Amino acid sequence: MITETTTKGAGDSPLTLTSVRVAFGGLIALAGIDLDVGRGERLAILGPNGAGKTTLFNVVAGDIAPSAGTVTIAGEDVTSAPPRRRPALGVARTYQKTRLFSGLTVEQNLVLARVGKVGGHRRFRRGPALADARERARRVAHDVWLGDFVDQPVASLSHGQQRQLEVGLAVITEPQLLLLDEPASGLSRGERERLIEFLTGLEKTVTLVLIEHDMDVALQVADRVMVMADGEKVAEGETEAMRNDERVHEIYLGTQPGGPVGESA
C-alpha cells in the first residue's frame, strides 16, 4: 500500500495504536496491535467472535487500560487517561449492547447525549443551549430515520430502530473519531441499506472505525479493512484488495473467494 508522506507528524493522526496489549488473566485479548488511522478514513475491523475487536474499542475509549503499548488520539497520548477525556478529543462510540434509556423518548436520549458532550447540565436547564440541543436532536433523529419517532419512548422502538438511535447518539456529539461496534447487528435488510447510506454520507472530516460482522456493510463503507483473530492483526489492506483475500474469506466467512459475498444485490 502506498502511504503519502505529509509534513505533519504521526501525532496528527486521529488514532494511533502502538503495540497495544491487553490480557485478562491468562487470556491475551490483544497481542500487541499496531494501527494508524488517517483523518477521514473509514476503517472496518473484521474478525470472528473473541478476536479482540470490542476490546480494541474499549482501549481506544478508555474503558480498559492496556497492559502495554500506547494509544494516541489526535496527537494526545491517552493511554492512561480516563474515559471522560475522550469526548473532548472528539471521540464517540457505540456499544455492541444497547445503552439507551428505555423509559425516555428518542429526543430525550439524543438531548442527553448532546448535554453529556457539551457538559454542564446546569447550562441546559433552560435557554438557548437546551433549545439548540433539542433542535439538533430532531435533525439527527431525522438523519437516522427516526424523524417520526422523536416523541416515542425508546422501549417502544424496534431493535433496528434502537440500533439506529445508538448511531444517532454518537453522531449528535459531532465526533471527529466515530467508533461503531456492530451497528448493523440485528437490522433488517432495509435498515442495513439505510445504515450504509447514512455511513457513506457522513462528512469526510469524520474518521470512522467500524466493527462489522456484516460484509455488505463493511465492504461498502470502508476504505480499508483490518482482519483480527485471536488478538492479532492477521490481514490489513484497502477494501478492494481485501474483498478477495483468502484470509478474509477463510477466517471470517469460512468460504472461498469468488463467492457472492460483498456483492450487493
Ligand X SMILES: Nc1ncnc2c1ncn2[C@@H]1O[C@H](COP(=O)(O)OP(=O)(O)O)[C@@H](O)[C@H]1O
We find the least distance from the C-beta atom of residue 54 to ligand X, in angstroms, to be 3
From ligand X, Mg ion, none, which one binds at residue 24 (CB under 5 to 8 Å depending on kind)?
ligand X
Q: Candidates 51-59, 66-74, 77-85, 239-247: pick the segment binding Mg ion (CB under 5 A).
A: 51-59
Q: Residue 29 or 100: which CB sits closer to ligand X?
A: 29
Q: Candidates 89-97, 113-121, 162-170, 250-258: pick the segment binding Mg ion (CB under 5 A).
A: 89-97
Residues in contact with ligand X by the rule CB under 6 A: 24, 27, 29, 47, 49-55
Contact between 54 and Mg ion (CB under 5 A)?
Answer: yes
Picking from 22, 83, 76, the residue whose alpha carbon sits closest to that of residue 53 is 22
Q: Candidates 7-15, 20-28, 46-54, 72-80: pick the segment binding Mg ion (CB under 5 A).
A: 46-54
Q: Residue 133 or 218: which CB sits closer to Mg ion?
A: 218
We find the least distance from the C-beta atom of residue 239 to ligand X, in angstroms, to be 19
R_g of the chain computed on alpha carbons:
19
Q: Residue 63 or 193: which CB sits closer to ligand X?
A: 63
From Mg ion, ligand X, none, which one binds at residue 50 (CB under 5 to 8 Å depending on kind)?
ligand X
- For residue 179, the SS3 value is strand
We find the least distance from the C-beta atom of residue 45 to ligand X, in angstroms, to be 8
We find the least distance from the C-beta atom of residue 247 to ligand X, in angstroms, to be 16
DSSP state of 88: G
- Dist. CA 114–CA 134, nearest whole Å: 9
Other beta carbons within 10 Å of 250: 13
We find the least distance from the C-beta atom of residue 45 to Mg ion, in angstroms, to be 9
Q: Residue 96 or 108: which CB sits closer to Mg ion?
A: 96
Nearby residues of 177 by Cβ (< 8 Å), 6 or more positions away: 14, 15, 37, 73, 74, 89, 90, 91, 92, 206, 207, 209
- Dist. CA 177–CA 191, nearest whole Å: 23
Read off the C-alpha cell for 48. 470472528
We find the least distance from the C-beta atom of residue 185 to ligand X, in angstroms, to be 11
Read off the C-alpha cell for 31. 497481542
From Mg ion, ligand X, none, which one binds at residue 52 (CB under 5 to 8 Å depending on kind)?
ligand X
- Dist. CA 108–CA 45, nearest whole Å: 31
We find the least distance from the C-beta atom of residue 82 to ligand X, in angstroms, to be 17
Residue with cell 492479532: 232
Residue with cell 444497547: 98
Contact between 94 and Mg ion (CB under 5 A)?
Answer: no
* Residue 231 and residue 68 in contact, taking contact as beta carbons nearer than 8 Å: no
Q: Whats the size of the chain, residue-wise?
A: 265
Contact between 79 and Mg ion (CB under 5 A)?
Answer: no
Q: What are phi and psi of 176, to 5 degrees?
A: -90, -35
Catalog residues that contact Mg ion under the rule CB under 5 A: 53-54, 96
